Chains A and B, each alone.
Chain A
Amino acid sequence: MNHPLTREQHLELYYFMQLNRQLEERMVRLFRQNKIVGGLYSSLGQEAVSVGTCYALEKKDWIAPMIRNIGALLVKGVPPRDIFTQHMAKYTSPTQGKDGTSHFGDLKVRNIVSPISMLGDLIPVMTGVAMAGRYLGQNIVALTWIGDGGSSTGAFHEGLNLAAQQRAPFVLIVENNQWAYSTPVSRQVPVKNLADRAVAYGIRSWIVDGNDVLAVYNAAKEAVDECRAGRGPALIEVKTMRMRGHAQHDPAEYVPKQMFEYWKARDPIVLYEKYLSENKIWDSKTKSEIDARIERELDVEQKFAEESPMPPPELAEEGVYCDGCHEIEAAWQRPKAELMPPACSIEPGWQVKDYGAFAEVEAIKKQIAAPIVSSGGNGSKVAKPVVKHSGKPPQKPAVRVMEPETPEVPRVPFGRGPKDKSVREVPNPRDRHQNPRDKRGRR
């Protein structure tokens, strides 16, 4: 389903993507001038992901960005000066120099949870945000991103499983930028599509071209709407490409040249500019106006950051504990009485459907799989994620892999060499499936 945008919204998407890019380009220059204190992590080539997903949210919704989601912060209304000052460790930054990069949040106005470097941690945290929003009757959606690399963490699994068990209004964007530092996706996980994993959690998933901002927006809007309607959580895999190294120090020589060339030809901003022109949504005059506005704004913001002072040393000792510096008061949107006895009291006990009997497993599988299938519809038993595309030149189609691939290298049990007889005689795992008895015996 397409969610139509007005001309202004179309232009706003461009503005945010270009603002994201120009802001980061300026920071590269500041980095080379030694004005960035720590590392600098680029989201070049991934702007459509941050902007397109966050644009699908309402003001009251919550996000927790990752390091390459500066575009999402901009959409949420964070001024560029906050990004500059954070990277330059200035006293005027949101963390007053206590942390850098995109590591800051805003609990009061913009509803942003700060990221940390330990990947996957934000998934359970944002599940909690989603649960609390529902508890308070706020009808919010919580959204966070995780990279292809971070999808291998334990917190990813625990968080997503809890979100699914709680039916939390939570959207997870799996931002597949092909590289976890220097390791390609194919060397991290045995599945072709990271979205395949959603089936295991019994939740809906989509695969989307991450360099097509409208496709990203449409998929995110659909997922957000689903969650708001109480049918969460949802997972979207966006396929994109990290066009620089892990951080500025990393020249990314391990990336095949042709791979850069392939994705460079698919630059999300260039593609979108073409779309806007071809569909007569703008003309060259509008583009120059927006670009000039971005330059003007960034000049002011950068100047502010460069002229800001470093934090005073004694600040290092302050703020470990909240000693009454914060008033903590939940924003209730439903009557508290609903959650107080006797209204909330229940007869405790469990109902176990079908007593967990084997005979019902197939039926349950169908129940889980059914809502996920929404394109393809070829009667396949395995659920398919929806592949979103906004109608531009097709990319490599996202195809589901039905069976696990045989590992390239035979698995050798620990401590045994390949000459060990028992290892040589390990049967091909595929053979097992041909024996129906074996198949039946497997769980």
Chain B
Amino acid sequence: MAPITMIEGIRQAMFEEMDRDAAVVAIGEDIGVYGGAFKATEGLIAKFGRERVIETPISETAIVGAACGMSFLGLRPVAEMQFIDFIACCFNQVTNFVAKSHYLWGAPVPMVIRGPSGGGVHGGPFHSANPEMYFMHTPGLKIIYPSTPSDAKGLLKSAIRDNNPVLFFEHKFLYRRIKEEVPEGDYLVPIGKAIVRREGADLTIISYAAMAHTSMEAADQLAKEGIDAEVIDLRTLLPLDRETILTSVKKTNKLLIVHEDTRTGGIAGEIAAIVCESAFEDLDGPIARVTALDTPVPYAPTLEERFLPNTEKVVVAARELAKY
């Protein structure tokens, strides 16, 4: 099979799942005739029609609320946020209604909310967010943030088939920048499983989404300096794959966490706490982190570059950590 981009992987997942199951519907703004702001749903309406590709007014609360209501009757809606930043508009609907339904009154909500996230494309403060941690703090949700075309496809298909509400973050910097061959057939990637992208002995770098690629580049550079880094791509943030994290830390004894989200309250803090609770005696050095600044995402390229982590910053932090 020819290599495909991440956006194509997402598109294929939508087509395949809607072909497989009439209960799968798509709902969102401009997802039909226009094909979505990033063309993730291009061609969907021509094939599946207006009943299955539901174009809505600009109403994130109504989109998520309606998708939730549809799921109560056994449908499996995939709701698109035009940019994931706008999920803030329906925060209440997601965190109070969707996330709590199963725990409180035994109502499963099999729906997916997907949308483009992340910076590096000069989208400015309202089109570049990584809001995953608002939702990490919400029991009842699952959170996926893939970094490759095949993971995006396989995880989105799994998310659609999952009986729980899944937030599916798509890093827009990766949409068309990487290509990969995706396994043929009904390809599924299990939710809740991290992957070791590169084996190493000296230290562990944990990351996800665009920063997984940054971490891999940093590891290549570190290898030239004689530092053998192991790189883990989390893929699913909630539920977090504690086992893969702890196994790696127990092997390398040093941990660096890299994320594009802002620093305070980022996932690095949670992972550090888990490692301190369960592998404290295995650590040979302090847990380090490379993250974005604690600021909104700035617009100008010079400012955004300063804001975001990059290979250089990861290499510097890893070098320091390796000294222990």
Q: Measured between alpha carbons, how far is A249 from B43 in the docked complex, in Å? A: 57
Whether the Cβ atoms of B65 and A125 lie closer than 8 Å is yes
Does B324 have its Cβ within 8 Å of any Cβ on chain A?
Answer: no
Does B22 have its Cβ within 8 Å of any Cβ on chain A?
Answer: yes
Question: Which residues of chain B are within 8 angstroms of A20 by Cβ–Cβ distance?
Answer: none
Whether the Cβ atoms of B50 and A346 lie closer than 8 Å is yes
Does A210 have its Cβ within 8 Å of any Cβ on chain B?
Answer: no
Question: Which residues of chain B are within 8 angstroms of A132 by Cβ–Cβ distance?
Answer: 69-75
How many whole Å from A230's CB to the nearest CB in chain B?
Answer: 14
Whether the Cβ atoms of A124 and B93 lie closer than 8 Å is yes
Q: Measured between alpha carbons, how far is A358 from B52 in the docked complex, in Å? A: 33
Instruction: Specify which of B61, B68, B100, B102 is in contact with A158 (CB 8 Å cutoff).
Output: B61
Question: Which residues of chain B are within 8 angstroms of A135 by Cβ–Cβ distance?
Answer: 25, 51, 70, 75
Taking each of B48, B67, B107, which has the highest tally of chain A beta carbons within 10 Å of its own beta carbon?
B107
Encoded as 1 (CB less than 8 Å from any A CB) or 0, chain B from 102 to 139 comes to 11111110100000000000000000000000000001
Whether the Cβ atoms of A128 and B66 lie closer than 8 Å is yes
Given contacts A121-B96, A322-B108, A128 and B67 within 8 Å (CB-CB): yes
Question: Which residues of chain A are within 8 angstroms of B70 by Cβ–Cβ distance?
Answer: 128-129, 131-132, 135
Taking each of A107, A136, A142, A165, which has the highest tally of chain B beta carbons within 10 Å of its own beta carbon?
A107
Q: Which of A11-19, A329-337, A394-402, A431-439 contacts B (4 or more CB under 8 A)?
A: A329-337
Given contacts A165-B56, A320-B139, A348-B45, A114 and B68 within 8 Å (CB-CB): no
Question: Which residues of chain A are within 8 angstroms of B101 by Cβ–Cβ distance?
Answer: 114
Whether the Cβ atoms of B104 and A348 lie closer than 8 Å is no
Question: Which residues of chain A are within 8 angstroms of B47 by Cβ–Cβ distance?
Answer: 341, 344-345
Question: Which residues of chain B are within 8 angstroms of A129 by Cβ–Cβ distance?
Answer: 69-70, 72-73
Question: Which residues of chain B are within 8 angstroms of A165 by Cβ–Cβ distance?
Answer: 56-57
Instruction: Specify which of A113, A158, A159, A339 is in contact with B52 (CB 8 Å cutoff).
Output: A339
Instruction: Specify which of A98, A336, A350 is in contact with B33 (CB 8 Å cutoff).
Output: A350
Question: Which residues of chain A are within 8 angstroms of B311 by Cβ–Cβ distance?
Answer: none
Question: Which residues of chain A are within 8 angstroms of B142 by Cβ–Cβ distance?
Answer: 321
Question: Which residues of chain B are within 8 angstroms of A340 by Cβ–Cβ distance?
Answer: 19, 22
Encoded as 1 (CB less than 8 Å from any B CB) or 0, chain A from 408 to 442 comes to 00000000000000000000000000000000000
Does A185 have its Cβ within 8 Å of any Cβ on chain B?
Answer: no
Question: Interface residues of B toward A: which range?
Answer: 35 or more
Encoded as 1 (CB less than 8 Å from any A CB) or 0, chain B from 34 to 74 comes to 00000000000111111110101101111111111111111
Given contacts A128-B70, A132-B72, A345-B47, A161 and B59 within 8 Å (CB-CB): yes
Whether the Cβ atoms of A159 and B105 lie closer than 8 Å is no
Taking each of A135, A324, A326, which has the highest tally of chain B beta carbons within 10 Å of its own beta carbon?
A135
Q: Measured between alpha carbons, how far is A330 from B23 in the docked complex, in Å? A: 7
Whether the Cβ atoms of B49 and A345 lie closer than 8 Å is yes
Question: Which residues of chain B are within 8 angstroms of A379 by Cβ–Cβ distance?
Answer: none
Whether the Cβ atoms of B66 and A99 lie closer than 8 Å is no
Does A328 have its Cβ within 8 Å of any Cβ on chain B?
Answer: yes
Whether the Cβ atoms of B59 and A125 lie closer than 8 Å is no
How many whole Å from B146's CB to the nearest CB in chain A?
Answer: 20
Question: Which residues of chain B are within 8 angstroms of A130 by Cβ–Cβ distance?
Answer: 69
Whether the Cβ atoms of A114 and B107 lie closer than 8 Å is yes
Whether the Cβ atoms of A155 and B22 lie closer than 8 Å is no
Q: In chain A, residues 314-362, which have Cβ atoms closer than 8 Å to a Cβ of chain B?
A: 319-322, 324-326, 328-332, 336, 339-341, 344-350
Q: Measured between alpha carbons, how far is A166 from B59 in the docked complex, in Å? A: 13
Does A179 have its Cβ within 8 Å of any Cβ on chain B?
Answer: no
Instruction: Specify which of B68, B74, B102 is in contact with A319 (CB 8 Å cutoff).
Output: B102
Count of CB-CB pairs between chains A and B under 8 Å: 185
How many whole Å from A100's CB to the nearest CB in chain B?
Answer: 10
Question: Which residues of chain B are within 8 angstroms of A136 by Cβ–Cβ distance?
Answer: 73-75
Does A65 have its Cβ within 8 Å of any Cβ on chain B?
Answer: no
How many whole Å from A164's CB to the nearest CB in chain B?
Answer: 10
Taking each of B33, B57, B106, which has the highest tally of chain A beta carbons within 10 Å of its own beta carbon?
B106
Q: Measured between alpha carbons, how far is A429 from B245 in the docked complex, in Å? A: 66
Task: Name the residue on B nearest A319 (C-beta).
Answer: B103
Q: Measured between alpha carbons, how far is A49 from B229 in the docked complex, in Å? A: 67
Question: Which residues of chain A are within 8 angstroms of B106 by Cβ–Cβ distance?
Answer: 95, 319, 326
Does B215 have its Cβ within 8 Å of any Cβ on chain A?
Answer: no
Task: Name the residue on A nearest B163 (C-beta).
Answer: A322
Whether the Cβ atoms of A124 and B65 lie closer than 8 Å is yes
Does B97 have its Cβ within 8 Å of any Cβ on chain A?
Answer: yes
Does B92 have its Cβ within 8 Å of any Cβ on chain A?
Answer: yes
Question: Which residues of chain A are within 8 angstroms of B49 by Cβ–Cβ distance?
Answer: 339, 344-346
Whether the Cβ atoms of B69 and A99 lie closer than 8 Å is no
Does B32 have its Cβ within 8 Å of any Cβ on chain A?
Answer: yes
How many whole Å from B33's CB to the nearest CB in chain A?
Answer: 5
Does A104 have its Cβ within 8 Å of any Cβ on chain B?
Answer: yes
For this complex, 29 residue pairs linking A to B, each with C-beta atoms less than 8 Å apart, are: A95-B104, A98-B104, A114-B101, A121-B61, A121-B93, A124-B61, A124-B63, A124-B69, A125-B66, A125-B68, A127-B66, A128-B71, A130-B69, A135-B70, A138-B73, A155-B93, A158-B61, A159-B65, A162-B63, A320-B102, A322-B163, A326-B108, A330-B75, A339-B48, A340-B19, A340-B22, A346-B49, A346-B50, A348-B45
Sort A-B residue pairs by CB-CB distance and give the 9 closest, nearest first. Answer: A128-B69, A124-B65, A330-B74, A128-B66, A344-B49, A132-B73, A158-B62, A158-B59, A162-B62
| Chain A interfacial positions (CB closer than 8 Å to B) | 94-95, 98-99, 103-105, 107, 113-114, 116, 118, 121, 123-133, 135-136, 138, 142, 154-155, 158-159, 161-162, 165-166, 319-322, 324-326, 328-332, 336, 339-341, 344-350
Known: A128-B67, A328-B74. 9 other contacts (CB 8 A): A103-B105, A105-B105, A127-B65, A127-B66, A133-B73, A319-B106, A328-B76, A340-B19, A349-B33
